[in-house]
Structure 1
């Protein structure tokens, strides 16, 4: 019986293409025929590229030297390191000296070959570590005090920090101007004045803590104690720097400045401390 041929089409086996030699490429190679490594090697062996790299390195070194030179014009890095050469023993002794200075006898800064000893070797040497840490602690304590009283805000805390910093700057500038106008020859540097002015933050921390713990009565007692201690410390410390220069200036240009003016500078600097402490802490304790 003959089968119908409608809809039937004979199929022939298709010839399969021969597989390409090597691994098949899934993506088109756009790297330039594997010349990447060769390009890198060419870059490093190209004299123009090497010259450009050397020129760029030279410019970077020159820029670094210029930055260091500009910083050295306004601030001696080695001098700044001297004021941070402290250890734990010195910090404890200096804090005790700031709060209980009345029993201390020897206030003279010691020298070795005309160079003052570092703070870790001389408790009378001024430092910037304690003022810096005390300033940061004061800001944190102010934020806590304002938070306890439900008055905290970033603006108020920023105003408190900037005010405390500005007062120190004003105090140092006034001191420098006074020494210049009275032609007082002393070895006090700007860093020394910043250190002595920054020690007030220790008393401010003590005052605020007592105010938070014991109320207004504790605040005023702590204010009186820290103010008297700081005034005594400032007078005895600056006395060795300012008043002792009278003999050195007796035959020089500083002879025209009367001794009582130098005494006024020392006393005024000390008497100004309680005013600043009260101004910066009274609003934190209510």
Structure 2
């Protein structure tokens, strides 16, 4: 009997523990993290981090402190002012020799203008009005005036001349990339030397003119049209065709340069005295004749070896 009671009591004891475990947890394992302000729990730490984040601000990082420094702002402003001053100095000195801002004007052409200009370069004899049109003291774009200088025809003429020269050398079994490069560089060097010589002559003669460096490059580059026509005629009809065609083109470019530069170089003569005007007019006329007469020489010098 005692054994049974002891056994029954032994069996009931686990049931009581199981009931107590289900009804409530042991105080030793009670979770106090959900209760605010109950000692140093995990809930106190997030509050501390939130306070630090609030002090830095949303999205703040240490680099903002450097950017907000007055000395850094002053240095950035000083650097920007130096950059702007340097750019102005470069633009001013560059515009003295090559007005880059006007390059857009010299390429304002269309198909009609190019066709008429090429015809004028080859047949300038029937053209009457050679004056450039102006609109509010500004010359109109080349596509509106056939007398206005442009850079499109000289640039395309130079490239076409190099290609035609390569074709002519290829038909004679003399083509090589080195020779073609020498041909292009030689034509470019002669063009630069011609423009520099004209600028020096204008400076020595002290001629007041509205001709710019780009105008001289344009007028000097028009001779490539006659050179191309002469070389193509030589490839098709031999040396006889080359000489006849080149002679026609040389006379045409001479007449074109005389009638064009005469107005440019004599535009300031009316404001001078009679004696000064007479002496200066002779110098201007000699200079105009020299510039126009140099064009046939360059045309023959750069093309005679391409036709055999």
Distance 1:222 1:44 in 2: 78
Residues 177 and 48 of structure 1: CA distance in aligned 2, closer, same or farther (over 3 Å): same
5+ residue gaps in structure 1?
A: 1-40
How far is 1:243 from its partner?
2.6
Distance 1:57 1:99 in 2: 58
Residues 153 and 239 of structure 1: CA distance in aligned 2, closer, same or farther (over 3 Å): same
Distance 1:50 1:144 in 2: 66
Distance 1:126 1:59 in 2: 41
Distance 2:142 2:170 in 1: 36
Note the 1:1-286 alignment, pairs <5 A: 46-48=64-66, 63=83, 66-67=86-87, 69-74=89-94, 75-250=98-273, 255=277, 257-286=279-308
Secondary structure of 1:185 counterpart: coil
Structure-2 residue corresponding to 1:12: none
Distance 1:203 1:153 in 2: 25
Residues 59 and 218 of structure 1: CA distance in aligned 2, closer, same or farther (over 3 Å): farther
Larger radius of gyration: 2
Distance 1:260 1:130 in 2: 31
TM-score by length of 2: 0.72
The worse-fitting range, judged by mean Cα deviation, of 52-61 and 180-189 is 52-61
Distance 2:177 2:85 in 1: 39
Aligned length: 245
How far is 1:76 from its partner?
2.3
TM-score by length of 1: 0.77
Larger relative contact order (Cα-Cα within 8 Å, sequence gap ≥ 6):
1
Residues 55 and 156 of structure 1: CA distance in aligned 2, closer, same or farther (over 3 Å): farther
How far is 1:255 from its partner?
4.4
Per-residue Cα deviation, 1:202-241 (whole angstroms, up to 9, x for no partner): 1111111111111101100111011011000000001111
Write 1 or 2 for the structure with the bigger share of helix.
Answer: 2
5+ residue gaps in structure 2?
A: 1-58
Per-residue Cα deviation, 1:42-79 (whole angstroms, up to 9, x for no partner): 76964437988998899689658735741442232222
- The answer to whether the Cα contact below 8 Å between 1:183 and 1:257 also exists between their aligned partners in 2 is no
Residues 258 and 53 of structure 1: CA distance in aligned 2, closer, same or farther (over 3 Å): closer
How far is 1:259 from its partner?
2.0
Distance 1:149 1:43 in 2: 73
Distance 1:150 1:47 in 2: 73
Structure-2 residue corresponding to 1:17: none
Distance 2:104 2:265 in 1: 24
